[in-house]
Amino acid sequence: GAGVSQTPSNKVTEKGKYVELRCDPISGHTALYWYRQSLGQGPEFLIYFQGTGAADDSGLPNDRFFAVRPEGSVSTLKIQRTERGDSAVYLCASSRGPLYEQYFGPGTRLTVT
């Protein structure tokens, strides 16, 4: 079956611009996660959705970052006023629930120039 997909695969933007990153989870998975991975580091948790609601957003670095999942399926990570330090690979994962194994997408590589 289809895995987790993320679009775009690469995004280059200028400092100060707004970006949206999209995640399509595995069908039927109620849990969805966003992580961020800087070069040479392990992924870092950003936010967890159970259904439509953000159950844990403790990893969002500041209020420039926001994520939505309005219908409990597709999710969008939104970054306002991008900074060069936001450059990273943004990973999305989904699972059947918080205690189940997570399936990751290939990531979106964001470069802020």
Partner 1 sequence: DAKTTQPNSMESNEEEPVHLPCNHSTISGTDYIHWYRQLPSQGPEYVIHGLTSNVNNRMASLAIAEDRKSSTLILHRATLRDAAVYYCILFPGSSNTGKLIFGQGTTLQVKP
C-alpha–C-alpha distance, residues 59 and 41, integer Å: 16
Work out how close the CB of 107 gets to partner 1 at its nearest, in angstroms, rounded to a whole number. Answer: 5
- List contacts with partner 1 (CB under 8 A): 4, 31, 33, 35, 41-45, 48, 55-56, 59, 91, 93, 95, 97-107
Work out how close the CB of 39 gets to partner 1 at its nearest, in angstroms, rounded to a whole number. Answer: 12
Work out how close the CB of 62 gets to partner 1 at its nearest, in angstroms, rounded to a whole number. Answer: 19
